[in-house]
């Protein structure tokens, strides 16, 4: 990283100057010429850093090493260490659209997001549930440590078009920290629109679905699968990261979503 900075700083990178930077600390304070050089090198390092930032800002598509699985710190912790380890930025993305694919409801898809929900509520943001498949049960949320005062539910019987509209508006709204929606079979165009809305509103949207759709523009696509085990009381789920922006290939981990009974 350091050498990279120097490459950008000075048009002619002199290995001599780089060497003197380290040598100056040990050298006698009397060596004025050298210490001057060092200070000038330090000063020029600062604008160079800015230049990199500017470069990154200008080209958002620029890939960074910290985008790799388990690298960087720019994610929100999922609350599951093994899952953090395979997610870029070591956690859920700050904004964007995620797809959670579960073969049937009840496999712990909400348990997966509970730590995130607690985090959102603690920030004072709202959680919007758009047309959930069943009635949301408040005592369970309170047991999970989630304040129900910041939870809004949009009715089940609203049409798909309205539900998508609501979702888009909510994603654009900065007071909604998390938007959860249950929709199968959304075309890529719609998903891209939702992804854009989430980007502008700095909001995280989560789509729950039964089937995976290839080529979806969502930032993260993961699948939950139950692993049958001999001990019925102990259940573990396999989470496959089909896609996570930054990862090269699908990754897989095992997480215990449901508490042992």
Q: By the criterion CB under 8 A, which residues form the site for another protein?
A: 103-111, 124, 126, 132-144, 148-149, 151-155, 158, 162, 165-166, 169-170, 173-176, 225-228, 232-233, 235, 237, 258-259, 261
Q: How far apart are CA 66 and CA 101, in angstroms?
A: 26
Q: How far apart are CA 243 and CA 86, in angstroms?
A: 11
- Closest separation between CB of residue 201 and another protein, Å? 11
The pair of three-digit structure tokens given for residue 34, joined into one six-digit string: 């050298």
- Closest separation between CB of residue 118 and another protein, Å? 14
Cβ atoms of 185 and 211 closer than 8 Å: yes
Which CB atom, from 24 or from 113, has the smaller least distance to another protein? 113
Which CB atom, from 131 or from 195, has the smaller least distance to another protein? 131
Which CB atom, from 134 or from 248, has the smaller least distance to another protein? 134
Cβ atoms of 198 and 96 closer than 8 Å: yes
Please compute, for residue 184, the number of CA atoms within 13 A of its CA located in the half-sphere on the CB side. 7
Which CB atom, from 86 or from 179, has the smaller least distance to another protein? 179
- Closest separation between CB of residue 161 and another protein, Å? 10
Q: What b/e readout covers 1-28, taking b as 16+ CB neighbours within 10 angstroms?
A: eeeebbebbeeeeeeebeebbeebeeee
Which CB atom, from 212 or from 226, has the smaller least distance to another protein? 226
- Closest separation between CB of residue 35 and another protein, Å? 36
- Closest separation between CB of residue 19 and another protein, Å? 42
What Å distances lie between residue 242 and 87, 223, 248, CA to CA?
11, 7, 10
Q: How far apart are CA 31 and CA 39, in angstroms?
A: 13
- Closest separation between CB of residue 109 and another protein, Å? 6
Q: How far apart are CA 186 and CA 113, in angstroms?
A: 22
Residue labelled with tokens 């200070």: 39
**Phi/psi at 173 (5° precision):** -85, 130
Which CB atom, from 79 or from 89, has the smaller least distance to another protein? 79
Which CB atom, from 69 or from 146, has the smaller least distance to another protein? 146
Residue among 149, 184, 177 nearest 163 (CA): 184
- Closest separation between CB of residue 121 and another protein, Å? 13
Residue among 51, 56, 54 nearest 72 (CA): 56
């Amino acid at each position: 990283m350091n050498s990279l900075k120097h490459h950008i700083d000075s048009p002619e990178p002199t290995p001599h100057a780089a060497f003197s930077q380290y040598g100056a600390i040990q050298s006698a304070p009397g060596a004025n010429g050298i210490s001057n050089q060092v200070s000038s090198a330090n000063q020029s390092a600062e604008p160079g850093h800015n230049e990199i930032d500017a470069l990154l800002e200008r080209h958002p598509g620029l890939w960074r090493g910290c985008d790799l699985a388990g690298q960087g710190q720019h994610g929100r912790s999922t609350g599951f260490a093994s899952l953090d380890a395979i997610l870029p930025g070591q956690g859920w993305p700050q904004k964007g659209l995620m797809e959670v694919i579960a073969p049937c409801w009840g496999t712990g898809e909400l348990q997966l997001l509970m730590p995130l929900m607690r985090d959102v509520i603690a920030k004072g943001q709202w959680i919007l549930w758009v047309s959930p498949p069943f009635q949301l049960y408040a005592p369970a949320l309170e047991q999970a440590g989630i304040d129900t005062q910041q939870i809004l539910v949009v009715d089940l019987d609203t049409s798909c078009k309205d539900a998508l509209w609501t979702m888009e508006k909510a994603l654009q709204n900065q007071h909604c920290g998390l938007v959860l929606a249950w929709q199968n079979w959304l075309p890529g165009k719609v998903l891209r629109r939702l992804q854009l809305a989430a980007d502008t509103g700095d909001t995280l949207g989560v789509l729950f679905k039964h089937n995976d759709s290839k080529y979806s523009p969502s930032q993260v696509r993961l699948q939950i699968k139950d692993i049958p085990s001999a001990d019925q009381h102990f259940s573990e789920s396999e989470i496959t990261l089909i896609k996570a922006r930054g990862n090269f290939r699908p990754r897989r981990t095992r997480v215990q979503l449901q508490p042992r009974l």
